[in-house]
């Protein structure tokens, strides 16, 4: 059965429109798949979470990574899908035009139709994770020495910089790149 789980995970990686660096985080942190040799229990849970998240995403037109990160188990996702189906029925909304199941055994059987070579999983696990920016409000211990948050350099995203420019009622901020925004906002690199 592990082959089916791995094949479906590989199918998800290839077809669900998420960046490779994001997949690495999803696989290792959220889904607990650290290698293709993970236990059957971990692979089963990961593939079911991907399966249910995919159909929730289709129903709600939302990318699945949000559901995978927030839901703790495949049952959480299954319940969201069941609740959505109840809401759809109650409000007379049309059914999703793809077959999906809310029974784990039927879902696993359905996964057999969606398989890809598992080498893609190993490739994803080799991808370097993106650097996460540091929160300036936390204190960091370096050699038993506390560094105040004021001494840590804040790394801003373009979105954050544009929000700051908008609050300061600057003109033309939406067309500026990061360097121009930082200069206009008088933020040192």
pLDDT of residue 47: 93
Give percent of the chain with pLDDT exceeding 70.
84
pLDDT of residue 128: 65
pLDDT of residue 95: 79
Sign of the C-alpha dihedral, residues 112, 117, 120, 125? Answer: positive
Residue 22 is inside which H or E element, if any? helix 20-25
DSSP string for 70-126:
H-SSHHHHHHHHHHHHHHHHHTTPPPPSS---SSHHHHHHHHTTS---THHHHHHHH
Q: Tens of pLDDT along 159-172?
A: 888 888 898 888 88
Q: How confident is the model at residue 3 (pLDDT cuts 50, 70, 90)?
A: very high
Across 16-25, average pLDDT: 84
d(CA 50, CA 44): 10
Q: Higher model confidence: residue 92 or residue 99?
A: 92
pLDDT of residue 20: 81
pLDDT of residue 138: 43
pLDDT of residue 140: 41
Q: Is the separation of the CB atoms in 6 and 123 below 8 Å?
A: no
The closest alpha carbon to 22, from 65, 54, 73, 70, belongs to 65
Give percent of the chain with pLDDT exceeding 90.
19
pLDDT of residue 55: 86
Across 49-65, average pLDDT: 82
Q: Tens of pLDDT along 113-154?
A: 999 998 889 888 887 655 554 444 444 444 444 445 554 456
Backbone angles phi, psi at 14, to 5 degrees: -75, -30
SS3 129: coil
d(CA 106, CA 108): 5
Sign of the C-alpha dihedral, residues 163, 168, 172, 177? Answer: negative
Q: What ranges do the domains of the chain cover?
A: 2-126, 140-184
Task: Indicate the average pLDDT of the chain.
Answer: 81
Q: Higher model confidence: residue 140 or residue 12?
A: 12
pLDDT of residue 10: 92
pLDDT over 50 (residue 13):
yes
Q: Who contacts 58 (Cβ-Cβ below 8 Å, separation ≥6)?
A: 96, 98
Whether the predicted model's global pTM rises above the 0.85 cut: no
């Amino acid at each position: 059965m592990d082959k089916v789980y791995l094949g479906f995970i590989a199918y998800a990686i290839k077809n669900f429109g998420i960046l490779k660096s994001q997949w690495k985080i999803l696989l290792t942190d959220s889904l607990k798949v650290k290698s293709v040799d993970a236990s059957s229990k971990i692979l089963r849970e990961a593939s079911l979470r991907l399966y249910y998240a995919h159909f929730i995403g289709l129903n709600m037109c939302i990318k699945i990574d949000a559901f995978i990160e927030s839901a703790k188990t495949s049952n959480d996702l299954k319940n969201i899908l069941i609740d959505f189906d109840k809401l759809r029925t109650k409000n007379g909304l049309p059914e999703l035009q793809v077959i999906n199941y809310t029974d784990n055994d039927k879902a696993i059987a359905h996964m057999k139709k969606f398989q890809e070579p598992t080498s893609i999983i190993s490739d994803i696990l080799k991808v370097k994770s993106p650097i996460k920016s540091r929160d300036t409000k936390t204190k960091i211990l370096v050699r038993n020495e506390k560094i105040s948050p004021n001494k840590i350099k804040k790394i801003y995203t373009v979105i954050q910089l544009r929000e700051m420019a908008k609050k300061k009622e600057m003109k033309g901020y939406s067309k500026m790149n990061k360097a121009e925004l930082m200069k206009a906002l008088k933020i040192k690199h």
